[in-house]
Amino acid sequence: MDNEAKTYKILSLDGGGSWALIQAIALADIYGLDTKGRDILKHFDLAIANSGGSVVLAGLVMDMSPRKIFDQFNDEPIRKGIFVDNWINMFDFRKYSTEDKLTGLAKAFEGYPIDCRILEIGSQLKISTEIVICAFNYDRERATFFRSNPKSLTASLGGSDFKNLTLLQAIHASSTAPVKYFDDPALVSYHKPEDGKARFWDGAVGGYNNPVMAGVVEVLAKNPKPENIRALSIGTGNVFLPLGTEGNNSFGLYKLPQKPCLISDINLLAGAVINDPPDAASFTAHVVLGGSLPSTPDPVTDGPVVRMNPLVQPIKAAAGAPFPWELPGFSVKEFVRLCELGLDAVDQYDVNLIKKLTHHWLAGVANNQPVRMNGKTLACEIGHNKYSKALAQWQSYDAGAFPQGADNRQHIIDIL
């Protein structure tokens, strides 16, 4: 088939640490809780992921079912083996050991060929889907993409400097979040031993926590028609609150102003790499692929990018209610805790809150993140503010993503 006429489908998985269990559940709901990972990958021409999403993608490459991938994130000893406390903890920064994380990831995939070279994923594991994993080169100060396709037209001439890179090393590099989390960049050996080792932070540092736009560029390099590209972008949960004013008794429902200071500004900058660039990426990809822009209050719902991502966000109260916002199925204590949680949710209580959010999201109680929403009213302008509508749109794009039936959904609810 001519590249211009072929329809390309992209799977894009955000970073998000323990919150990536959301992606396992979304894939379970779309393709089946016990469907083998490589059978899911067959639905896509390219799969790209960052950080926690790269761990989910590695699970698919290892032929794990969504249930098995979820079980990994739901296993407290596995989580504690990845987020290993650093004995030197400076003001809540550099909290975890990068070296111990590599050991924890290896143990999580024990018994699987996770040491397969990323360039041999196609030949050795018989996977036709192109795999791309994002990272940030600490020394070059540039984003890096580890690709399974050695002939990718987006790659630099001369081929990869990391020809011996394993899938385990790639997800280790991709998931080493800096500043607030891990103490040192991940080390990856160059192809030539005399060149030593390169150092990598999480791909979010390069603006690729939501890597959908990078995936679109990979596919556009093959010269297809942009209107023939479809992308399923699955997030790991975002907090997006209406803005409040100082002195407002918000009960956790509003984002209140904070006073600038060194520590709070460092936290703000460290968090920005997993907030605004990822939110912008879906909209940018939508426009690049020829998606329509709204000219009326009615949202554009047939765009090329389908965004699935639960929002930690109050919902509009019914007309005439005494308060304009209400909580989507959470107590105030639970909601405030969800807003506070970072990507390093380890304690089972915290992970159970993420699971509860996921359940509410599937049921339509918690909102889905649109491709674009109004920052003031939180109204959906492009995409869908309910998971069920996003699911229906993706099913219209992927004939194989047929409805799984009530039994599959009930089995998912049972494990949540």
pLDDT tens, position by position, 251-262? 667 776 667 766
Report how far residue 393's alpha carbon sits from residue 194's, in angstroms, rounded to the nearest whole number: 51
Alpha-carbon dihedral sign for residues 152, 49, 70, 362: negative
Q: How far is CA 346 from the centre of its chain?
A: 18
Q: At what angle do helices 348-363 and 66-74 cross, to 10 degrees?
A: 140
Tell me the whole-structure pTM to 2 decimals. Answer: 0.93
**Mean pLDDT value of segment 322-344:** 85
Residue 63 in this model has a pLDDT that exceeds 80? yes
Confidence of residue 57 (pLDDT cuts 50, 70, 90): very high
Give the DSSP H or E segment for 167: helix 167-174
**DSSP characters for 14-83?**
---GGGGHHHHHHHHHHH-TT--HHHHHTT-SEEEE-THHHHHHHHHHTT--HHHHHHHHH-HHHHHHHS
For the chain, give me the number of helices (H) and strands (E)?
Answer: 15, 14
Tell which wins on pLDDT, 147 or 193. 147
Q: Is 294 helix (H, G, I), strand (E, B) or coil?
A: coil
At residue 8, the pLDDT reads: 96
The tens digit of pLDDT for each residue in 19-46 reads 999 999 999 999 999 999 999 999 999 9
Structure tokens belonging to residue 227:
């209107």
When computed from its CA atoms, the radius of gyration of the chain, rounded to whole angstroms, is: 21
pLDDT tens readout for residues 292-332: 999 999 999 999 999 999 999 887 777 776 666 778 889 88
| Domains of the chain with bracketed CATH | 8-211 (3.40.1090.10)
Q: Do residues 60 and 40 lie in contact, with contact meaning Cβ atoms separated by under 8 Å?
A: yes
CB 148 within 8 A of CB 101: no
- In the predicted model, what is the mean pLDDT of the chain? 89
